[in-house]
Structure 1
């Protein structure tokens, strides 16, 4: 028995098609780019498996999906296919086709996905393959493999094309990893250098493709040189991991970079990603000059972030050379976190007796009142071995130069002293503009005490800061500057003063008992409305300072 053609079938399809983007009977919506597209739950659920599963949950839905990244045109094309089974890819841009393809994958519309893949393969040429593979990249997908093979087949020609520089680092890594390139290693190395020079903002991602490139050949020296010049805290972890036992020159350079920038890298999120082979090799070959408390804390943090390498922890700790205080802190932390068996910890502690006694001038084995020095003058000097270890110019104290300032390059400026000093006074000069700041100090880099909080106060020029005396080993400063400005310090000094100080029992604010605004303190009284007045509050003020008196009803500020 045959079934006769029913002309009503075509009519029904046409009527359903007319419901696409039609508000009539709409009971659900898509929201994209601020535009609301009406739809119908029965049709969507019948055609799309993902949407059907959502609707069957029975949860009330007014606005179905907010798609922030999908273009409106791609969503309209997706909905048209649902309502009509028709998609006209030749009529839209390649970008819209790629976005429609992504929607098809997200909502598991297999037929639409196949149509998009066939179209994207057919239009692939050297001019657009970089854009196509970047837009649709999914490492294990058939479409990505098609593009990777296409690039591999035309690699020498493609390298010379202007779009070559657009390739994402993920595509590069996949290309080299696949082993499909039928060109010499020299061409691969030179092309990678070309790509790196065109993409300096992606330097943190340079190490990934390096895992699959040979760098020991003479022709690779240009690549090694470029990577050295671009080495920074953001990418050195990736570089040293990628070049372990591959390029002796670059690997050694990276270890030396870590050595000289240890204090900064130890606080960086990538430090915990150092491979166990690299971190062991580093402590076998180097004794970083960073503060020992920072070293011990960074090692504990690394172990805590890499529990799968616990079998290597005892051997690693045997090579971490720190003074007795830092060692005690490290062992205590390791024991409390149960990172190493107690027997292995004992072996490590007793093994420290074999270290050379090269810390005789550093912190003593037990912290006591006697181990804190009462300085006779400023301790933030090269002679006191004061160092900036984070967030600013590392040579501000060690190699001071005329006119140099300590600019805050990170969230905090951190300063290390070679030993603990008793302090109660800081003197800091701000070079210009209204700025605010707070200052913390610490003995062990773990417990911090805020001694000054001017975060809500407008400050400028010389800051004379008194606080209750305490041992200080580390100083942390966080400042804010006006819009588009940068917090900076032109001079910073730290003292212990025997001048009498008063402590407010309610606020704990410390103030000197003596007058702090005599002329010899370079006091400035500012009052815009009366700068030419004679006399002033401060007698015998220096001629090059502004000396005024306030009129009734007009405020003045003393600095």
Structure 2
């Protein structure tokens, strides 16, 4: 039943909204002599207007028409210089009605209209016009739009233009609009690593621009944008030299650089397609080396088993084997994702290299000494490359490297790296991040990593190990540089624990990062230490004031200090100083066994977990 008063009308009836009538009726006044008290003269055309309407809609006209200058006088005539009549007519219509029909206007009028919106400080109009221009970019207009966007410092529109020109570089270079670019805009375009035309195409286009604008002092600055060492010797001698636009010394320096530099040190250009996997057939990528090639780039990350759904190569000590992907064109990448075969508990080691010519390779990821499993999220300094190879160096089960999926892209998402390893800010010890508990006892697998800090009691919700025997070990999907951890020790009574924590990248060499063996610790533990590379974290309990078992409810790596304990958790946040917190005690379970938190009898302490 409605709670509204029976005599009170519905909101849709009580609220009158006749804005469309207001717009229509004010719009009828546009360019009308009736009631007008100011006239604008634009390109010789007269535009009668109503100063109070313009002043109410625009701060610029308020200052102009009511500021005490001659334009403030009744029936004043105002000449507007550097303004086009067609664009000004559109502006007046917008000021009176709040509407503008952009799709019916010619492109040059739209750019003039955008200029007026910018000049008169009409930010919503400027934003809307910029947004529309982004939708109609094409080869013939993008240079002109970019020049205007640069002039008015419209960063979003400028970025859209640059992105379009990057994707259509050869066509843009041959367009008439390219010859009309200002020098500043021209250099902004062609100096980008992502402007992916050939250097010969860029050189010839800049030659045309210099002839169009007259060869003078600007020519030398413009020609410095050409990356001469990327051109072949034949191009430098037969195309660049006859032009006379590059000095013989600059040509010789370029030849010297090309002959003495390693190939991957040359300043290559590459296609930039942000936040999208380019290792796909859509973008022309293909697997050129490795066995069972067809499975790697098919996008299927679910259907694989012992026999199908992966690519592979034999692991050889000389490293000559590998799985190699050829991208459709030279591209800028800084992020790779791999899915290592993970239908059992095996781990792999590997490295990744990139190249432009399949001869000179640069190693961008080196996990050859680390144990890794399942999904790998890898970041490195952005590089231009055409070829990527993944070389497996170790498999804990056999001598074959198995790769289910490969993705690469350029991402603007920042990743902090230390010695080539990601320094994570978010918790990577989660099931979603492919971490797992490989040692320790629990009623449910990976209970330590499921994020549940609320539902635990005497009988479940924790992971444990017998003191003096074994440990709790977490394996992360890949090595990270870790400087903090966070634990929730079982805290349903007043007991305290002692423990230490070690980290490793290979399960052979361990480094102790936390030593609380001489401390009485309970509930939440926030632990900070110097950054260490870690694929494995081993938590070893050394004492429990209640029995001979160490119990841990929750684990984070790194510590998420800004997260709150799940509402209703028995544990209250405590520092790693072993502070004691008081909390409600749940009812003790009616049955006991050796790894329960309850105080064991002498006969039950050696029993195994159910």
Whether TM-score is above 0.5 comes out as no
Indicate the structure with greater strand content: 2
Q: Which has the higher contact order (CA 8 A, sep 6+)?
A: 2
Using the size of structure 2 for normalisation, the TM-score is: 0.35
Give the TM-score taking structure 1 as reference length: 0.38
Q: Between Structure 1 and Structure 2, which shows a larger proportion of helix residues?
A: 1
